[in-house]
Chains A and B, each alone.
Chain A
Amino acid sequence: MTNNEKYFPDMEIINSDIENKILNITNNTNFEKYNEYDVINALDKNDCSIEDFCALISPVAKKFIEQIAQKAKKERERFFGKNVYFFTPLYISNYCENHCIYCGFNCKNNIKRAKLNFSEIEKELIAIKKTGLEEILILTGESRKMSDVDYIKKAVELSKKYFKNVGLEIYPLNSSEYKYLHENGADYITVFQETYDKEIYKKNHLKGHKSIYSYRLNTQERALLGNMRGVGFGALLGLSDYKKDTLATALHIHFLQKKYPKGEFAISVPRLRPTVADLNINPSDVGELELLQIMCAYRIFLPYVNMTISTRERKDFRDNAVKIAATKISAGVSTGIGEHSNKKEGDSQFEIADSRSVEEIYKELKSQGMQPVMNDYVRV
């Protein structure tokens, strides 16, 4: 623990230097100081330093978006070739104990709550399997009470029956719990920090386990200690200064990769989109240009990471972003509960902008010379 936050009694404390490393740099970076020369210099180099990355996400770099995209595309092709990895999220429960003022699942929101039982989960899995997908991401709202670790473990076991690759996007756990879920078939976990700005984090996460900033920040490290093969990261862009959150997310991966070199790392770039809750928040400072700038800068600084493009974005943006910077695309997405087998039981976390089926996205990307990949993984 690197500050005076009081952990809940069930929270594991690990001895980590990662938070300090991230915040020391992030808090001392002023993006206004970068000039055109810094951007050109960053684009001209083979190896992108932290300073170069800052230049690429600085305001002055926006006018170089074409050159930045060209460089990102080269990096993407070098590491990933033409491959685009397909997956879909499956929401199995939307009960949530958190009070995140921007989120549709917020426990104070009056939405229809649901939790699928195991036969309903299996029905959903079978419906998704029919679309040709081989990788699935199991999601729950952040309620340990309503979706405990054993419930998730059984969902993982069911998923393994139908899918080759099972990832989790669930509330943060202790390393022993990650170890348990890993042993039962899950290899990847994603937890979004939402924002790395402590003050804004506190204002947006009023209570519950999620209100503990450091416990959440150390989630990926606990997962790696629990033998998870790969970990995913993301800041909810627009919640705070997006440039600082972008830098902090990149540093989070940068430092964890140094500490756990065999881990696999993935990054998501969600922007705030309209939900029941966030009518009072203005996410307008992250437009498409800024979003692409951020994605490209990530690709140049962290060429080895997988990057997911969200269904929050419209289809043309997704189809192009996945050729330039992103490597993973969700398809046939439904963010409600129980919708894959045509029976909506619970409300959605957010509105999606690209509701195309797996087949539609597959055909579109194929026609553009990309290679859809349903599985690139073997469990060992």
Chain B
Amino acid sequence: MEDKLKIGKYEFNSRFILGSGKFNLELVKSAIENAGAEIITMALRRINTDTDNILNFIPKNIKILPNTSGARNSDEALRIAKIARELSGADMIKIEVIKDSKYLLPDNYETTLAVEKLANEGFIPMPYMYPDLNAARDMKNAGAACIMPLGAPIGTNKGLITKEFIKILIEEIDLPIIVDAGIGKPSQAAEAMEMGASAVMANTAIATAQNIQVMSKAFKLAIEAGRFAYLAKCGKESNLAQASSPLTGFLR
């Protein structure tokens, strides 16, 4: 069964997007391999270096997804995107516009503006956002290639605490919904995929695991399992018991 993730003009077999910000770089390559990931995100500000540039640690066949981390408004996001395109050749850009240094929550309004500006400049915008239906619609109309709602504040490993709102995005927005941030365990990634997310992004959960290789693999399998479950259409949950041998079957 062919089941590809489509973002803009690109297609991917893997539905696991790996973040890179928190790794010891020697471990990134094997994490990518074990994760089976085809996309890796990285902050432009981390590519902006001469020593231990993460770009040198990424296999050539992996798609680089620069993010605009450090941008506090849409203009800064656009400037960062342009530098990223120069440095890495990437046209897919994960938009992060953050004005809060404590919780690092994305600013949906500025993010929407950034989507429009990047789309006009020929980028494939992938906005990281707080799961709000109206903002997601605006981002879609502004040219977003997918929507990347957070499951929980970044780095918290708290899982899908915005689950009900992400479900609404999955139902209403006709774009890939990629759960980004907050996913702390493979089971949470599986849950996101089961409910119809198109992909999952994770970094902290893997970079801070005791065994990075094994955790990468665990996430890979969980995301695949969740995807299969979604495609297979899970049986419906019900509050009423449905006995497999009905008590009243004797009635004529």
Contact = CB atoms under 8 A, between A and B. Distances in A.
Interface of A: 77-83, 132, 134, 164, 257, 261-265, 304, 369-378, 380
Given A132-B50, A373-B46, A376-B46, A81 B23 contact: yes
A164 B155 contact: no
A369 B101 contact: no
A257 B204 CA distance: 24
B100 A78 contact: no
Contacts of B100: 261-262
B50 A374 contact: yes
B204 A262 contact: no
29 contacts: A78-B204, A81-B203, A82-B22, A82-B23, A82-B207, A83-B21, A83-B22, A132-B51, A134-B50, A164-B48, A164-B49, A257-B101, A262-B101, A304-B101, A304-B102, A304-B104, A372-B52, A376-B43, A376-B49, A377-B45, A377-B48, A378-B44, A378-B45, A378-B70, A378-B80, A378-B83, A380-B70, A380-B71, A380-B79
A306 to B, nearest CB: 10
Contacts, number: 85
A105 to B, nearest CB: 32
B49 A374 contact: yes
B133 interface: no
Nearest to A304: B102
B20 to A, nearest CB: 9
A264 B44 CA distance: 18
B52 A81 contact: no
Contacts of A263: 101
Contacts of B156: 78
Given A78-B157, A371-B23, A376-B43, A262 B72 contact: yes
Contact of A77 (B50, B99, B208): B208
Contacts of A376: 43, 45-46, 49
A interface: dominant SS? loop
B67 to A, nearest CB: 11
Name the 10 nearest CB pairs between A and B, nearest first.
A81-B22, A380-B76, A262-B99, A375-B49, A378-B45, A261-B100, A374-B51, A82-B24, A77-B208, A78-B155
Interface residues of B, number: 34
A132 B157 CA distance: 34
Contacts of B218: none
Interface string B123-160: 00000000000000000000000000000000111000
Contacts of B24: 82, 369-371
Chain B CB count within 10 A is highest, among A83, A132, A264, for A83
Given A81-B207, A374-B51, A380 B80 contact: yes
B48 A378 contact: yes
A29 to B, nearest CB: 23
A86 to B, nearest CB: 9
Given A257-B102, A265-B101, A374-B49, 20 more contacts: A77-B207, A81-B21, A81-B22, A81-B204, A81-B208, A82-B24, A132-B51, A257-B101, A261-B100, A262-B101, A373-B46, A374-B50, A376-B43, A376-B49, A377-B48, A378-B80, A378-B83, A380-B70, A380-B76, A380-B80
A264 B45 CA distance: 15
Interface in B84-101: 98-101
B86 to A, nearest CB: 12
A257 B83 CA distance: 29
